[in-house]
Amino acid sequence: MTARLLDGRALARTMTQEIAQEAALFRQHYGLAPGIAVVQVGEHPSAVRYIAQIERAFQSVGMRFSLRRLPRTAGAADLIGLLEALNSEPAVNGILVQMPLPGHLPPSLVANAIDPSKDVDGIHPLNAGRLLQAEGDYFVPATPAGGIELLRRYGIALAGKYAVMVGRSNVVGRPMALLMLHEHATVTICHSRTPDLASITREAEILAVAVGRPGVITGEMIRPGAVVVDFGINVVGNRVVGDVDTAAAMEVADWVTPVPGGTGPMTNVMLLRNVLTAAWRQAA
């Protein structure tokens, strides 16, 4: 068996065109394109690269991008003050604070300070709570939202399937598990303290992985015919690899997200989608 690829690059190109058309319609209606403000504290190298990617993505669809920088030494009051100013700025539809923050600034500070209606990364407790309940308007973190969109656009139904989520972070594992549950899958969450992980993953019809450890899921841990969604992005030497042994997975599974080119390209396009959605809601 050779698995088929869940091609995130191809889908991201398609969705980018869709979003560009909708952004143009918004601009035609309201005279101003939807826009995001990205907050950067310090100069973490990975943050600099990711922010550049975000800026290119927004420019490519005719949406506005602004970067607000604070020095690494900025205190909690400085960060909260900036977020409160952005909350009240009508031209800012979405706010994203780039992680990781310096050690003296807890992520919870950001989660509680952002206006939930502009929280396009889905970290505010209100958005997280509404995701849990699947009620009302809310934003989902872009990475798991992209994983679900890949499955949806490739016609992979989750209803009635047994899904396993390996990883329990607040930004990928937990929201992805909830999203699969909302699609009527039966979901198990595994993590670093799960005994005999392989015995659980081998039962999964849908296997999603987000632990940040290269090759933690081997071919022997995958059920024949499974759908494998790999959120891992790990640099090994001069290569980027996932949390799943992709070559081995291709010999066992039915569908596999490649790394790179699977869930990664979907993250930025779902961020675009969230900002556009925020803009329509705020204009209503």
Residue with tokens 């009508």: 90
Structure tokens of 97? 């604070």
Architecture of the domain defined by 142-264: 3-Layer(aba) Sandwich (3.40)
For the entire predicted model, the pTM comes to 0.95
Measured between its terminal Cα atoms, the distance across the chain in Å is 50
CATH, domain range 30-115: 3.40.50.10860
User: Domain segments of the chain: what residues?
Assistant: 30-115, 142-264
For residue 175, what pLDDT is reported? 98
Whole-number Å distance between alpha carbons of 172 and 254? 23
Question: For 59-91, how does the pLDDT look when each residue is reduced to its tens digit (9 = 90+)?
Answer: 999 999 999 999 999 999 999 999 999 999 999
Structural Rg of the chain based on CA atoms: 19
What residues of the chain score a pLDDT lower than 70?
1
Same CATH fold, 142-264 and 30-115?
yes
